[in-house]
Amino acid sequence: MTPKEAFSISKLKTIGLTLLTSALAISLIIFPRDALSASLRGLDLWWEIVFPSLLPFFITAEFLIGFGVVHGLGALSERFMRPLFNVPGCGGFVWVMGMASGYPSGAKWTADLRSKGQVTRIEAERLVAFTNASSPLFIFGAIAVGFFHDANLGIIIALAHYGGNFLVGIGMRFYKRDEERSRTDMRSSTWKDAFWKMHHSRLEDGRTMGKLMGDAVTRSVDTLLMVGGFIMLFSVLTELLKQTGAIHIFSHLLALTGLPENFHVPFTAGMLELTTGIGAITETHEPLLAQLMIVSFILGFHGFSIQAQIASILAETDIRFTPYALARIAHGAIATLLIFVLYFVYLPFQSQSMPIWNPDENFTTPIIQFFHHYGPPITLLMIMLMIIVKWNSHQQKKDNPGKHRV
C-alpha cells in the first residue's frame, strides 16, 4: 500500500467515525427518555449483579498472584496445561477462575501474567481465546431459571458453553506454533518445587499486606468501573438502534442465513449486549431447540459489549485482539453444534413444551435475590473504600515526595 492510499483510507476512517459519533449524539438528543431508561437498566445490572459478583473473585485473584500461589500452582499445572493448550501452567489458574467468575476476568488475569512476563505474547493470545466464559451463576441463575424457567436447562447450556471453550483451547494450541521457540522446561514439578516457586515469588513481589490489600481493591474496582461503563454504553446503543429502526437493517442480512424472522431483532440485540438479546430470544414463540441454539451462539460470541471490555483490557498490553475475536466465532459455532447434539441426548427435553418468559412473574433464585437486595450497598461501599485508599496513597506521596522518586 502506497503512502497516498494509506492517507486516503485514514481520511475515510475519520469521516466514518465522525458520522457515527454525530449520529449517536443526534439520536441521544431525539430520544433522551429512551436513552436514559436504557442507561439506568445497564446501571442496575452492573451495580446489583456484575460488580458484587465479580469483585470477590478479582480481589482474591490479586491476593493469589501477590502471594505467589499462582506461580506455585502453575508449576504443578504445567504437566497438563502445556500438552493440552500449549500454554504455561499458570494459565490453569486463569482458565479455572475465568470459568468460575465469568468474563472479562480471563482477559484481566492474562494481561496481568503478560505484564509480569509469565507468558509470551503468543501464549497470552492463546490463553485469552479460551479463558473468557460465562459464569455458572449467569448460566444457571439468569438464563436457565430467570429466562427459561427451568434450572435443568442450565446443564446442557453449560456443557455446550464450557465444552465449546475447551475445544477452542485445544484448537488454539496450534496457533503460531511455528513462530515459537521450542520449550525445554517441561519437566514435572514436585510439591516441594511448587512451594519454593511460590515462596520466591512472594519475596520478589515485596509488597506488605496493607499495600497488597489496597492495590487489590483499587485495581479491581477500576476494572469493574470500566466494565460498568461499557454495559451502560451498549445498553443505550441497543435501545437507540431499536428506536431509530436501524436495528431492522440487519434483518435483511440475517434473512440470507435462513434464520427465522422472529429471531432477527433479538439476535442483533444479543450480538451487541448478550443479556438483553437472550431475554428477547426467550420471549419468541419459536421451538425450544432453536432458542437454545441461538442463546448458545450468543454466549460463545460474548456480544460486542464484552468484546469491547476485553479489547480495552488488552489495549494496555501487546496482546493482539484478532485471535480472541476469531475464537469467539469458533466458540459460538461449536457451542451451537454441541447444544444440538446434547438436546437429543438429554431425552427429557424432547417432549418438553416451550416455556414462555413472563416479565411480571416474580421468579428468581435466592442468589439473585441476594444480589438485588445487597448488591447496590456493597458496590457503593467498595467504591468509597477505593476512594479512601487512593486518597491515602496520594497523601503519603505528598508527605514523602523523595520516597517515591524514581
pLDDT digits (tens, 9 = 90+) for 252-300: 788 777 788 888 888 988 888 888 788 888 888 888 889 999 999 999 9
Residue 369 above 50 pLDDT? yes
Give the pLDDT of residue 358: 41
Give the pLDDT of residue 364: 46
Q: Among residues of the chain, what percentage have pLDDT more than 90?
A: 19
More confident call, 119 vs 351: 119
- Per residue in 44-82, pLDDT tens? 878 777 788 778 877 887 787 778 777 677 677 778 888
More confident call, 332 vs 224: 332
Residue 1 above 50 pLDDT? yes
CB neighbour burial string for 255-268, b if at least 16 within 10 angstroms, e if fewer: eeeebeeebbbbbb
Identify the sign of the CA torsion 323, 103, 301, 311: negative
Which pLDDT band, with edges at 50, 70 and 90, does 367 fall under? low
